[in-house]
Amino acid sequence: MNTDIERVIVGKDEIDKMVERIGKEITRDYKDKELVIIGILKGGFIFMADLVRKIDVNCKIDFMSVSSYGASTKSTGAVKIIKDVDIDVNGKNVLLVEDIIDTGLTLTYIRDLMEGRGAQSVKIVSAFDKPSRRKVELKADYEGIQVPDEFIVGYGLDFNNFYRNFPEVGVLRPEKYIKK
């Protein structure tokens, strides 16, 4: 697998520091509150697991799965719920944990959905961000690491469902981006 990665863009140390920093920010902001942390599957699972252990706040954990890229490296813009949360978010402080914000469509949809369900507050945290690619105005409340407009894999991010377990973030060798 590692030989498929052409170039590492974000290394382990930088990721660890980002998780540590954001964990502190969230701990400070929700000190005496209760939080429902919702990880967006599948890509968010590794960041979620790292981040929640840096958050010293009473929280419930849930997951939601929505469709995104499929086997293509371009966003379709279509958002479909594949797995919904079990927890009732009505009156709750919700934090959405995502791997990367690209066009912003996915998180805009989920944020609006949670607000529609009566959440008291909805905030967004994303490990990575490609601000140059937005189709809708959306800013993370807790900002991870900005990455260039390149298709990246690792730390939860996939290509065709592979490479999520690569511990850092990198770009694949061009021939690997061909759909099999």
Instruction: Give min distance, CB of 17 to ligand IMP, in A.
Output: 21
* Residue 19 binding: pick among ligand IMP, Mg ion, none (C-beta 5-8 Å cut-off by kind): none
Write the DSSP symbol of residue 98: E
Query: What does the per-residue mask of binding to ligand IMP show for 67-106, with x meaning CB under 6 A?
Result: -xx-----x----------------------xxxxxxxxx
- Cα radius of gyration (the chain): 16
Query: Of the candidates 18, 64, 152, 172, which one interacts with ligand IMP according to CB under 6 A?
Result: 152
* Residue 104 binding: pick among Mg ion, ligand IMP, none (C-beta 5-8 Å cut-off by kind): ligand IMP
Block residue for tokens 């690491």? 145
| Residue 104 engages Mg ion in binding (rule: CB under 5 A) | no
How many Å from the N-terminal Cα to the C-terminal Cα in the chain?
16
CB atoms within 10 A of CB 48: 23
Which span (13-21, 40-48, 51-59, 171-179) binds Mg ion, by CB under 5 A?
A: 40-48
Write the DSSP symbol of residue 3: G
| Residue 143 engages ligand IMP in binding (rule: CB under 6 A) | no
Query: Could you tell me the CA-to-CA distances from 168 to 85, 95, 100, 137, 147 in Å, in that order?
Result: 28, 24, 14, 28, 13
